[in-house]
């Protein structure tokens, strides 16, 4: 922390000078999460907050699709991402053309798209969802069948809780797809008294084996309300680091993976971004409105 202090100080001074707000995802490192972020949250919370920003600049500390979502929802703002290479294996697994081909194959079937996608994919979508509202959105769209893209595991985990038929796509999160039921069995054997909680991007056999599954914000709330003496968060590693500070009586055990995309963002490139106004995120004006409608519908349906 003392090592980070000069950078944190400069970022906080510069963000005021530049009329900027820093939005950070729960997977950002503690020095970003606690040191410089104005707003932290899961994908849904960050999307909702992006609609309310009054500053002229948003610095998105997260991955590219999150910065695009902020731009889509608040297009008059300048949206910066400290490293535009911060991608996502889900977002890169599907294109707008793929979605149009699915629509042609299943005419009239509504398309529910995880926010972990490009603006172009959102633009050919009926309604978006996040991991915190996926079941609700699927239940609320019209019809008995839903196309749910691109995360096959989020779709399979949702399919187990709804009566609707779900057509999936073969995308996966590179961080969560590698967790296995054997990993959970090993964790249970190693830490018999610990609770184990996971993100719904994990395969269904992992979700079956854990004590709770939910979005990053859902997991944080679960720990705060259940106050387990020991817990393993089966998700990205910074989650435990961030939650641990606010839950000193909970023992956080390791069982996590690092998201290399989230970890592209650091204090140095946040400072650079504020200084230089780079890298600015733009969205094609032709797709911004249909993409916004898909995200806005989600926000309205999850109220």
Judged by the rule CB under 6 A, the positions of this chain that interact with ligand SF4 are: 63, 88-90, 116, 173-175, 201, 236, 259, 261-262
CA distance 81 to 83: 5
Place of tokens 């503690």: 30
Cα separations (Å) of 231 from 164, 208, 251, 253, 274? 33, 17, 6, 6, 37
Report d(CA 112, CA 294) in Å as an integer. 9
> Does residue 133 have a known ligand-binding role?
no
Tokens (6 digits) for 282: 């733009």
Number of residues forming the site for ligand 13P (CB under 6 A):
11
CB of 3 to ligand 13P, least distance (A): 28
Q: Which does 68 bind (CB under 5 to 8 A by kind): ligand SF4, ligand 13P, none?
A: none
Per-residue binding letters, 21-60, with ligand 13P (x by CB under 6 A): -----x---------------xx-----------------
Alpha helices in 160-210 (DSSP H): 181-190, 204-209
Q: Is 131 annotated as a binding residue?
A: yes
| Under rule CB under 6 A, residue 116 binds ligand 13P | yes
The site string for ligand 13P over 136-175 (x = CB under 6 A, - otherwise) reads: -------------------------------------x--
Would you state the structure tokens that stand for residue 47, as one six-digit string? 């999307």
Interaction residues for ligand 13P, span 249-278 (CB under 6 A):
none
**What is the SS3 string spanning 212-233?**
EECCHHHHHHHHHHHCCCEEEE
| Residues in touch with ligand 13P (CB under 6 A) | 26, 42-43, 116, 130-131, 173, 199, 201, 215-216
């Amino acid at each position: 922390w003392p090592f980070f202090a000069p950078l944190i100080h400069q970022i906080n001074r510069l963000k005021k000078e530049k009329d900027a707000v820093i939005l950070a995802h729960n997977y950002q490192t503690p020095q970003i999460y606690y040191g410089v972020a104005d707003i932290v949250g899961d994908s849904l919370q960050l999307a909702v907050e992006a609609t309310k920003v009054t500053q002229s600049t948003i610095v998105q500390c997260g991955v590219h699709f999150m910065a695009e979502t902020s731009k889509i929802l608040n297009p008059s703002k300048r949206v910066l991402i400290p490293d535009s290479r911060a991608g996502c294996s889900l977002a890169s697994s599907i294109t707008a053309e793929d979605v149009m081909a699915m629509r042609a194959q299943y005419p009239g079937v509504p398309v529910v798209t995880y926010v972990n996608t490009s603006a172009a994919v959102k633009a050919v979508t009926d309604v978006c969802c996040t991991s915190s509202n996926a079941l609700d959105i699927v239940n609320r769209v019209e019809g008995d069948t839903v196309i749910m893209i691109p995360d096959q595991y989020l779709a399979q985990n949702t399919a187990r809780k709804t009566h609707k038929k779900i057509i999936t796509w073969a995308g996966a999160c590179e961080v969560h797809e590698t967790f296995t039921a054997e990993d959970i069995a090993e964790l249970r054997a190693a830490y018999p008294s610990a609770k184990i909680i996971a993100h719904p991007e994990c395969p269904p056999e992992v979700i079956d084996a854990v004590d709770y599954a939910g979005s990053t914000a859902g997991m944080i709330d679960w720990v705060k309300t259940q106050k387990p003496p020991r817990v393993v968060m089966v998700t990205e590693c910074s989650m435990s680091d961030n939650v641990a500070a606010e839950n000193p009586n909970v023992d956080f055990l390791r069982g996590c993976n690092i998201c290399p995309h989230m970890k592209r963002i650091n204090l140095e490139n946040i400072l650079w971004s504020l200084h230089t106004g780079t890298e600015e995120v733009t969205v094609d004006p032709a797709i911004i409105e249909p993409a916004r409608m898909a995200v806005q519908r989600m926000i309205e349906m999850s109220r």
